[in-house]
Amino acid sequence: MLKACLNGQRSQADHPAVPVTPAELAADAARCAALGVAAVHIHPRDASGVESLRPAVIADALTAIRTARPGLPVGVSTGAWIEPDGAARVAAVRAWSVLPDFASVNAHEAGAESVAAALHDRGVLVEVGLWTLDAVEAYQGWRVPVGRILVECMAEEVPVALADAARILAALPSRGIPPVLLHAEGPATWPVLADAVSRGLHTRVGLEDTLLLPDGTRAPHNAALVTAALAAGAH
């Protein structure tokens, strides 16, 4: 599976093509889906452009995308930078009036398992984000079913990111685990994507992770990044 990560924590100050509003997210999601991505991951914003887990903000973004591209799976982040208090994140999930198809939960964040449980209780597929070996250990103690594992390499140095990927993947059980999606951010994005392809793992690409194409030139938009990922063998 190739997933498009459309915006993340970036703003249009970082790149003018970063989609922020529900209409922009919908148009971008439709373009990427037409190219062949299997899902999109978004960070919805409120009217002031700030990331939010509030029900109306989540609903507006999801509804816009589903209207533009019916049937396209859409996921959101529950990162602690959006709402630092774990109990408040749980309350937000339980209050959502429109549900995403999946949502990511970073295992190293305080209250992560409770957030994952709230998502699972509502029928939302849980993606567990694993950034470190400590996060792997924390996740392995969860009692909440997980639908996908995100091995997320946050180091910008390519050798470090690739080594982190190898260590985290080796720490996972060899069988009986959910599908794994491997990705990186910044300069390591494309080398780690190639590693994911070589391993036969899911991966992702988009302006959340990188502003650059594999040749180092600035990507004009998410669709260009998706096109490059497909050319590199991601699918």
How many Å apart are CA 63 and CA 61, to the nearest integer?
Answer: 6
Where do the DSSP E strands lie in 98-221? 102-106, 125-130, 148-153, 180-184, 203-205
pLDDT at 175: 87
How do 74-77 and 203-205 pair as beta strands?
Answer: unpaired
Quick: pLDDT tens for 106-115: 999 999 999 9
Q: Per-domain residue ranges for the chain? A: 2-231
| Average pLDDT of the residues of the chain | 97
Q: What is the dihedral of CA 44, 82, 13, 58, to 10 degrees?
A: 10
For tokens 């959502």, name the residue: 96
How many Å apart are CA 69 and CA 47, to the nearest integer?
Answer: 23
How does 60-81 read in b/e, with b if 16+ C-beta sit within 10 Å? Answer: bbbebbbebbeebbbbbbbbbe
pLDDT at 180: 98
Element (H, E) at 2: strand 2-5
Structural Rg of the chain based on CA atoms? 16
Q: Does domain 2-231 have CATH number 3.20.20.70?
A: yes
Quick: pLDDT tens for 133-156: 999 999 999 999 999 999 999 999
Over 90: is that where the pLDDT of 66 sits? yes
Within the chain, what is the greatest distance between any pair of CA atoms?
Answer: 45
